[in-house]
């Protein structure tokens, strides 16, 4: 009988990971998404909770691209959606 070590995200109990570092990255991404959601909903009160969550997760998943754009590289935003378009 084989034993497998798996890691569970503390913020997303449904997801299991084979690597602790990957689980930690996922938790940090979800934490950032939660904070972004709060900021977006304060900035745009008409934003629904679901829309805010979706935007927060999108921005958190693409944080590197947004960071480049905010550091005077607005063309970096053109990278968004390339992965989805390729599929």
pLDDT, tens digit (0-9, with 9 covering 90-100), for 39-68: 999 999 999 999 999 999 999 999 999 999
Pick from 40, 37, 34: nearest CA to 9: 34
**What is the pTM (predicted TM-score) of this model?**
0.78
Please report, for the chain, the start and end positions of each structural domain, with discontinuous segments joined by +: 7-86
Return the higher-pLDDT residue of 44 and 11: 44
Pick from 7, 65, 11: nearest CA to 33: 11
Mean pLDDT of 23-34: 94
Domain 7-86 falls in which CATH fold? Answer: Arc Repressor Mutant, subunit A (1.10.10)
- CA torsion 43-47-49-51 (nearest 10°) is -110
Q: 32: number of CA atoms within 13 Å, CB side?
A: 15
Contact 27, 11 (CB under 8 A): yes
pLDDT, tens digit (0-9, with 9 covering 90-100), for 63-84: 999 999 999 999 999 999 776 5
Name the band, by pLDDT with cuts 50, 70 and 90, for residue 28.
very high
Q: Residues 80, 46, 49, CA angle at the centre, nearest 5°? A: 65
Contact 24, 15 (CB under 8 A): no
């Amino acid at each position: 009988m084989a034993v497998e070590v798996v890691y569970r995200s503390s913020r997303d109990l449904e997801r299991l990971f084979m690597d602790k570092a990957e689980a930690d990255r996922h938790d940090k991404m979800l934490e950032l998404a939660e904070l972004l959601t709060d900021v977006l909903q304060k900035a745009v009160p008409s934003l629904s909770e679901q829309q805010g969550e979706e935007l927060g997760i999108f921005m958190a998943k693409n944080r590197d691209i947004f960071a480049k754009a905010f550091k005077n590289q607005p063309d970096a935003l053109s990278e968004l959606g390339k992965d989805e378009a390729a599929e």
